[in-house]
Amino acid sequence: MDLSGKTLFVANRGEIAVRIVRAARALGLRTVQACSDADTDMLAVRLADASANVGPPQAAKSYLDIARVVAAARDAGADAVHPGYGFLAENPRFAEAVEAAGMVFVGPRAETIATMGDKVAARAAAKAAGVPITPGSEGRLEGLEAARAVAAEIGYPLMIKAAAGGGGRGIRVVENAEALEKQIPQAEAEARAAFGDGGVYIERLVERARHVEVQILGDGTRAIHAFERECSLQRRRQKVWEEAPAACLTEAERAEICAASVRLAERVNYRGAGTLEYLFDDERREFYFLEMNTRIQVEHPVSEAITGIDLVAEMIRVAFGASLSLRQEDVTRTGHAIEVRINAEDPAKNFMPFPGVCGAMTVPENVRFDTMLYEGYAIPPFYDSLLGKLIVHGADRPAALAALRTAIAAMTLEGLKTTLPLHAALADDPAVIADTVHTRFLEDWLANNPLGA
């Protein structure tokens, strides 16, 4: 499919906007970069063919304003809109508005986003496709009586989750029956206030699990997987370090979870790049479906590193109606990749945000650095603290860890406080080297290893 001469509007900012502009250019598209008043000098604006103002610094008044973003894209003569991740990427009303304005939305159809964004509907779809789910309620709980019955069956501790929640928000842990009585009505009220939907459901709490997720790509008919990632090192339920493949899996387990993920993607006629997230209990050797992200993810480069697929280019092509350029048997896996997120935060001061000015910058050769930084760039204080991602690849996991240590040592970002010292310490940690971590590992580790103290 020839896309040259088509115009892509990039409705995001930061490092992912840079990534999208570059992928689009490689496909021959013209790019128009959205920017708020605080982002007029960002790297993606400098790289794109043109830029379009979408409003004041606060995201709610610019990048999150559907009417404004759609109008800016239409006025720029865009044929398509790429939402990146975060902001409006998983908002079905945005996808609908883009298509209603006569443009292509680079992602799944609005109804797919809506179905997978509703945790209960997503769980039902997963179950129907034969994807393993956590023991819990069949759907939204209708009152306390139903909650008591399910809790008696699955046991404590358990989690109450908001049907409309996500990204770790809207979750409560319940230790016993007495707490359940109190927490169900509170959780419903909180869900109504936070998400505009009071629906809640309950699930067994898996206490020491690993976070494994499968990257999929679909063209609306056919789907393939690009293997899995592991993202168990998390802080405040936010991922900080990602690897591919998940070294904790056997080949049989890997094949099973990847095949199940493709089944679900095909069942919902998935179009674009997406991720199925799972908890993996490595003692019971069981997977539990958590949620599906209907967008490109921050950590997609580790999957690209081991498979050689350009996921962003592929999602743009299929959005314009092309079939997937690959068959499953074309997707192969080489070596091991690690991505660390570099945030403008001071790990020695409880991760205090540091919106400084980037001074001299040295980036080692032979590694991938997806970033929004350039020398002299003043980081705006209004958005996420992610500055960039360092991605290393090696023949196996020890080689990738060695490459990471070398890369971090060779990297300088003067004038900034960043999370690089955290990653340097983790790369030397015996538990990380032995790969015996779980999703609560990093918070415990930080409590015992105060950085810079």
Q: Which residues make up the interface to another protein (CB under 8 A)?
A: 38, 56-58, 344-345, 352-353, 355, 381-385
Closest CA to 216 of 279, 286, 269: 269
Which residues fall within 8 angstroms of residue 182, CB to CB, at 6 or more apart?
A: none
Q: How many CB atoms lie within 10 A of CB 45?
A: 20
At 77 the three-state DSSP class reads coil
Q: Which is nearer to another protein, 64 or 154 (CB)?
A: 64
Which residues fall within 8 angstroms of residue 119, CB to CB, at 6 or more apart?
A: 161, 162, 163, 164, 165, 166, 201, 291
To the nearest whole angstrom, how small is the minimum distance from the Cβ of residue 186 to another protein?
17
Q: Which is nearer to another protein, 384 or 429 (CB)?
A: 384
Please answer whether residues 343 and 350 qualify as being in contact, where contact means their C-beta atoms are separated by less than 8 angstroms.
no
To the nearest whole angstrom, how small is the minimum distance from the Cβ of residue 60 to another protein?
9
At 145 the three-state DSSP class reads helix
Q: Which is nearer to another protein, 83 or 86 (CB)?
A: 86
To the nearest whole angstrom, how small is the minimum distance from the Cβ of residue 385 to another protein?
4
Catalytic residue among 30, 172, 295, 368: 295
Q: Which is nearer to another protein, 34 or 226 (CB)?
A: 34
Rounded CA gap, 418 and 435, in Å?
A: 24
DSSP string, 257-318: HHHHHHHHHHHTT-EEEEEEEEEEETTTTEEEEEEEE-S--TTHHHHHHHH---HHHHHHHH
Amino acid in the structure at residue 76: A
Please answer whether residues 335 and 308 qualify as being in contact, where contact means their C-beta atoms are separated by less than 8 angstroms.
no
To the nearest whole angstrom, how small is the minimum distance from the Cβ of residue 350 to another protein?
10
To the nearest whole angstrom, how small is the minimum distance from the Cβ of residue 416 to another protein?
13
Burial class (CB in 10 A: 0-12, 13-18, 19+), 286: middle
To the nearest whole angstrom, how small is the minimum distance from the Cβ of residue 11 to another protein?
19
Q: Is 295 a catalytic residue?
A: yes
Q: Which is nearer to another protein, 356 or 394 (CB)?
A: 356
Q: How many CB atoms lie within 10 A of CB 281?
A: 17
Write out the two tokens for 14. 């930061």
Q: Which is nearer to another protein, 112 or 234 (CB)?
A: 234
Catalytic positions: 295
